[in-house]
Structures are given as structure tokens and as C-alpha cells.
Structure 1
Amino acid sequence: MFIVNVIRGFFMALADSVPGVSGGTIAFILGFYDQFINSLNKLVSKSSKEEKMEALHFLFKIGIGWAVGMVASVLFLASIFEEQIYSISSLFIGFIIFSIPLIIKAEKETIKGKYINSVWAVTGVLIVVALTVFNPASGGQGIDVSFGNLTIGLSLYVFVAGMIAISAMVLPGISGSTLLLIFGLYTAIISAIKEVLSLNFSYLPVLLVFGVGVIVGILSTIKLIRHFLETARPQMIYLILGLMIGSLYAVIMGPTTLEVPKAPMSWDTFSILFFIVGGVIIIGLEQFSKFIEKKRM
């Protein structure tokens, strides 16, 4: 299972690094989400030493794949994201739209007959749309996060964004990268990671601030996410679906948050080819999950 978990982590990283679906959504599609959440919970709770070691062993394998996938994705995305924003956004939309029916299928018994909880789906949509409309980067103001421009206020903003983004990354639904896109930080963080990998350490402070926000976000939200998935799963699934639907609007408006703002995506700039590629990737991941399950039986 070592290689399988490395591959799982790799695909989680690819999802986490791009606006669209979260790594949590990929874990959901690949059938190991509950194990992933429970393992994180064991590390931050008063579990036995054996349970912590088992969780750490599992997460270590996921982490190797995640690190490889993230570095590969960042090195590639940072160089083409702004230039190919509409094609990449079309790919993201394919990820989202093709993932929604897979989650509905996987949780069919959970949500069946509980349609009153649709209000949570509406809530999820409204949350993402509100964040997109009212965020500070809305209207096209790129955010410079290099060392000389890292004020206390900007540092706090990056810290909070890191907390919120990692919460989204572990929760199936809206991608943490989509939230960074909403906050106007996606291109900045991706570029900062690439610069540090290229040994330009002027961007290291912002990544440290962002990293601390990520750690605090994990510690403060993982128990909450696990609690609600166990005690209010139907409501959570509807909320997740709403967040995913709402993230379509965030991706469409994403070009307006670039350092050099572009017009929102339109039918003229939408790429059906990249949309289909996104769908094929998601369906391929589902088939990969089924293949792994058959091998384990």
C-alpha cells in the first residue's frame, strides 16, 4: 500500500495546488477520506501511542506523494497560470462539475430523503459568492508579498488566509486554492514557493507566515470537521455540494484577482477542450479508486 498512498498524496497535491476541487475532494473520490481525517485527528488528540504511530505512518506516505505533487505542480503552474488563465480555469470547472455527481453517488444513502437540508447547499453557495464579491482583491488589485512589502497588516491577512485555506483543503468542497484566488493571494503564494525553490529567499517570510497559519488552521479545525461529519453528515454533505457549486463563480471571477487583472471568464474565453480534460481526469481518478479496491479484495 506504500505506492498506492504515495499516489493518493500526489493527486491530493495536484488538487490542492489549483483552484477547483480540494485535496479533500480527491480523498473522497479515491475512497480514503475518513481514514485521512481520522489519522489527522489522532495526531492532534489524546490518542494512544500505537494509534498515533499508525496515523503518522499513513500520513507520512500520503505526505511524500503530496510533497512531490505540490513541487511539480507549482513549478509548472507558476510559469503558465497568468498567461493561460482561461484554459486553466476551464480545466478547474471540469474538475468541479464532474466531481459533484461522484460525491452525490458516494453519499446517496446519507442525503436520500433529507432534502430539507438543501438549505445548507444554498448556504454554501452564498458563502463562496460573498467571499468572492467582498474580498479585498476584488476589482483587480494584485498583492505583492515580497519581503519589502510584507507589512503587519498584510502578514495578518496572509496568516488568516492560510488558516482558512487549509481548512478548505481538508474538507471536500471548495478548494483552498480557490479561496486563495478569492483573496487575491493564489498567484502570489504559488510564485513565492517557486522563488524559494529557486533559492530566492526574499519570499521566505511570507511563506513562513502562511505556513504558521496552515498549522494553526489544522489544529483548530480538524476536530470540528470530524465532529460534524460524524454527527451531522447529511448537513455537511449538502454544505460541501453548495461550496463546490459556489466555487464555480469564484473560478469564473478568478482572472480579476491577478496582479494584472483580466476580465472574468466568458463563453468566448471558456475552453471546452480543457473542460473535458478536467472531467476525464476526475473520472479516471474514480476508476483508479475502484481498481485499488478490487486489488485489495
Structure 2
Amino acid sequence: MIRPGIFFRGMAMGAADVVPGVSGGTLALITGIYEELIDTLGGITPRLLGVWRREGFAAFWQQANLTFLMTLLAGIFTSIALLARLITWLLATHPVPVWAFFSGLILASILMVLSPLRQRGLVQGMAFALGTLTAVLIAFAPAMSGGAGALVFFLSGMLAICAMILPGISGSFILLLLGMYQPVLEAVKEVQVPLLLAFLSGCAIGLLSFVHILKWTLHHYHDTVMALLAGFMAGSLVKLWPWRVADAAGLQDQWFTPAGYAATTGQSAQTLLALSTAVMAVALVWLLHRLAPVHNSAMANRKDG
């Protein structure tokens, strides 16, 4: 059965993935589909071919949860095709309220992720601190430079896709750090098939390898992993601070207070508008969180059935 809500969640993930510093995994976590996504991707193994041979294609499709996965991917790709230019334009023309919106989104999401955890001991606290520190270090890391051959595209794809499914760590930002964000965009623009195939191959291998580790840890150390992921999200707030200015190369940022931003750039700090968009984001997270239990109940019924 097709679930329209999954398509729109995919659109939210796709919109996030085109923005350096925002993770599609965060949107999956906010909207309550993160664990199903990891379980579905982790379940794609050669064992499914045996299900196909023994029980037929319909059983294979259901066992692999491909309706969920295909609907989600359709939403992601639709969003990238329709919204990428709009989001790019908004970031170029109205950066402060847009980044404030994303900051509010992440800040509210951290509370939503942590609130249902049953285990809140030293281990979970350390996991949260480790995730925060890791994301902060990534935000301050200097960008790399170098050649961009097929092997580099392949390895970049592996790293970026692993980051993309982790809440708080943006795959596109990892590409920026590697100095590969612009080369990948140019390869897409100029339809450089060999380089794109190398990049997509790296994405596929990285995803199917890393997701098994993530699935196992979620099943065995759920609350600790969720605390770690919440830490990733908290650390990413450094990169999402609305009042910052990039250097000439667009790789390193300087952080300012609203007043400092206005004095440095000669532009309005738009403080009231930024606060308003942040509040809107908090309200959106609350709404999505209220809808998530309905989805999670449907997921549980599917597993039991």
C-alpha cells in the first residue's frame, strides 16, 4: 500500500540534502522514519534473492519493504529536482532567516530525540558529548584540495553517503570539506558519466556497508546510539548559526552576534525575522512529532503482520 506521507517525508529529506550543513538523516529522524529507513536498507542482502526464488516477487518486494523505500526515494529525487534552485536562491538572498529556520528545526529536534529515551546515564551523556564534539570538529575542519579523478569521486561518494544518513552530519558539507562539492556539481551539470558512475558506486557501496553497522548498533544499544545522534545534531548548530560570513573561497566561516553581523556586512541582522522563522521551525517539528506516532504504529503493525 502506497503511503503518501512517506513521499512528503522524502521531499523534506531531499530539500535538506542539497543544503551544506543540513542532513537528510535529521529530517528522517524528526519525521519518525529513521529507524525504518535503517532497517530497510540493512535488510537488503543476498538472502532476499532466496525469498524471491522460493516465494515469488511479491514476497520479495514485501520482505524488502520496497514500497516504503521506492516512495521515499521518489520524494527525495522529486524534491531535489523541484526545490534545489529555490533553496539555493533563498540561501543566496535571505541567508539569515533560512539558517535561523534550520537552527530552530535542529534545536527542537534534539529535545524530541532525547525525550523518549529510557536510559539517561553516564554512557548516554558521554555519547551525546562525543557526538557534539565530532560535529563541531567537522564544522571547523579546513577544506581539503586535490585532484578529482574517478577514484576520488568513488571515495567521496562513500564518505558523503555515510554522513548523509547520520542526523546532524551533512553529506553535502562533507563534500565541501573534501573539496568535492563543486566538482560533483560540475559533473552533474556537464553529465560526466564516468565520474558520476564512480560517485554513485561509492555511494551504493558505502551505504550498504555502513548501514549494517548502524542497524546493529541501533538494535543493541538503541538509547546510546540515539544520544550520540542527538549530539551530532547539537554540534551541527555551530555550522547553522545564522549570523556568519564565509571567506572569499566560501569554505571557512566567521561567526558574529547579530550586531556584529550588521556592522561587518552592512546588512540588516533581521533578528526579529530570524527569531520568527526559528519559532516556525519549532512549531513544525512539534507538528511532525505529533504525526510520527501514527506512522510508527503502522510500522509496528507491518512488522507484526
CA distance in 2, matches of 1:254, 1:179: 19
1:179 & 1:51 partners in 2: Cα distance? Answer: 38
Instruction: Check whether the contact 1:254–1:264 (CA below 8 A) recurs between aligned residues.
Output: yes
The gaps in structure 2 that reach 5 residues or longer are 53-57, 262-268, 299-305
Secondary structure at the aligned position of 2:47 is classed as coil
Moved over 6 A (4+): none
Shift of 1:233: 1.7
Counterpart of 2:277 in structure 1 is 277
Show structure 1 runs of 5+ residues with no match.
138-142, 144-148
- Inter-partner Cα distance in structure 2 for 1:249 and 1:288: 24
Please say if 1:103 is aligned against 2:79: no
**Which one-letter code corresponds to 1:217 in the other structure?**
G
Q: TM-score, normalised by structure 1?
A: 0.76
Greater CA drift, 261-270 or 25-34:
261-270
Is the counterpart of residue 76 in structure 1 residue 86 in structure 2?
yes
* 2:61 is equivalent to residue 53 of structure 1: yes
Asked if 1:4 corresponds to 2:5, the answer is yes
**Amino acid aligned to 1:120:** A
Judging changes above 3 Å, is the alpha-carbon distance between structure 1 residues 127 and 71 closer, same or farther for their aligned structure 2 residues?
same
Provide the residue aligned with 1:172 in structure 2: 167
Q: Hey, what does 1:140 align to over in structure 2? A: none
Partner residue, 1:265: 255
Task: Report what 2:45 is aligned to.
Answer: 44
Q: Deviations over 1:140-173 (max 9, x none)?
A: xxx7xxxxx9643xx5444333222222222333
Structure 2: how far apart are the matches of 1:46 and 1:257? 50
Inter-partner Cα distance in structure 2 for 1:169 and 1:279: 26
Match for residue 219 of structure 1 among 186, 202, 208: 208
Contact persistence 1:168–1:176 (CA under 8 A): yes
Q: Distance in 2 between matches of 1:80 and 1:207?
A: 27
Structure 2 CA distance, aligned partners of 1:282 and 1:95?
A: 6
Q: Confirm whether residue 94 of structure 1 aligns to residue 104 of structure 2.
A: yes
Using the TM superposition, name which of 223-232 and 272-281 deviates more. Answer: 272-281
- TM-score norm. by structure 2 comes to 0.75
Write the distance in 1 (CA, Å) between the matches of 2:232 and 2:209: 20
The change in CA–CA distance for 1:135 and 1:210 in structure 2 (over 3 A counts) is farther
Cα distance in 1 for residues equivalent to 2:103 and 2:195: 29
Match of 1:65 in 2: 75
Number of residue equivalences: 276
How far apart are the structure 1 equivalents of 2:211 and 2:220? 14
Is contact 1:40-1:222 (8 Å) kept?
A: yes
> 1:196-235 alignment to 2 at 5 Å?
196=189, 200-201=190-191, 206-235=195-224
Partner of 1:13: 14
For the residue of structure 1 that corresponds to 2:32, the secondary structure is: coil
Aligned position for 2:35: 34
Q: Find 2:127's aligned residue among 115, 120, 134.
A: 120
Deviation at 1:286, TM superposition (A): 4.0
Q: Give me the identity figure in percent.
A: 24
Displacement of 1:24: 2.3
Residue 68 of structure 1 deviates from its aligned partner by 0.7
Q: Determine if contact 2:117/2:223 at 8 Å carries over to the other structure.
A: no
Query: Does 2:154 correspond to 1:159?
Result: yes
Shift of 1:224: 0.4
- Which is higher, the Rg of structure 1 or of structure 2? 2
**What SS is found at the alignment partner of 1:102?**
helix
Aligned mates of 2:154, 2:97 — CA distance in 1 = 30
> AA paired with 1:180?
L
Q: For residues 111-166 of structure 1, what are the alpha-carbon distances to aligned partners after superposition, in whole Å with 9 as ceiling and x for unaligned? A: 33x233322222222222333334334xxxxx7xxxxx9643xx544433322222
Judging changes above 3 Å, is the alpha-carbon distance between structure 1 residues 20 and 166 closer, same or farther for their aligned structure 2 residues? same
Per-residue deviation at 1:79? 4.2
For 1:248 and 1:281, how far apart are their aligned partners in 2? 14
Please report how far the alpha carbon of residue 60 of structure 1 lies from its aligned counterpart in structure 2 after TM superposition: 0.8
Shift of 1:101: 0.8
